């Protein structure tokens, strides 16, 4: 529900002109700079061809650099451009602001419960997520 709210608000504000897969790709490249197409495809849960199409659009928008791997002829290295980093930062800041505004009216007791619930979820799922996806 939280993610639906954030996506809807970002779309309504015009901040998010990226598709969700494009945004997820930017987040992954921010965390794993220099990854290759298969790493990104695995993260997105799509085929290499689909990931390549996502990357093509991000390259056209100037958000991602795609360069040939220096040792592996058929591999590409993916990194965020300065513009891609700035776009990702803007989307994150906007999302944080949206959540902050919604939570501003909650009592200290409710906020504490929310924080405890999030911490508990993190603890429960920590061992179930591969290290590179954390």
Domain 2-106 falls under CATH 1.10.10.10 = yes
pLDDT computed for residue 62 by the predictor: 96
Buried b (16+ CB within 10 A) or exposed e, 88-124: beebeebbeebeeeeeeeeeeeeeeeeeeeeeeeeee
pLDDT computed for residue 129 by the predictor: 64
pLDDT band at 17 (very low <50, low <70, confident <90, very high): confident
Question: What is the number of other CB atoms lying within 10 angstroms of the CB of residue 63?
Answer: 23
Model pLDDT for residues 111-133, shown as the tens digit of each residue: 999 999 999 998 888 877 665 55
pTM for the predicted model, two decimal places = 0.79
Q: What residue segments make up the domains of the chain, in order of their start?
A: 2-106
Are the CB atoms for 40 and 59 separated by under 8 Å?
no
pLDDT computed for residue 41 by the predictor: 95
């Amino acid at each position: 529900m939280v993610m639906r709210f954030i996506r809807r608000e970002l779309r309504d504000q015009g901040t998010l002109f990226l598709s969700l897969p494009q945004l997820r790709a930017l987040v992954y490249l921010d965390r794993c700079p220099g990854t290759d197409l298969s790493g990104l495809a695995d993260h997105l849960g799509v085929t290499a061809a689909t990931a390549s199409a996502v990357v093509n659009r991000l390259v056209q928008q100037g958000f991602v650099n795609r360069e040939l791997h220096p040792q592996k002829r058929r591999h590409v290295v993916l990194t965020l451009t300065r513009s891609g980093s700035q776009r990702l930062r803007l989307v994150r800041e906007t999302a944080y602001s949206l959540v902050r505004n919604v939570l501003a009216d909650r009592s200290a007791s409710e906020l504490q419960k929310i924080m405890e619930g999030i911490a508990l979820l993190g603890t429960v799922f920590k061992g179930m997520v591969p290290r590179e996806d954390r």
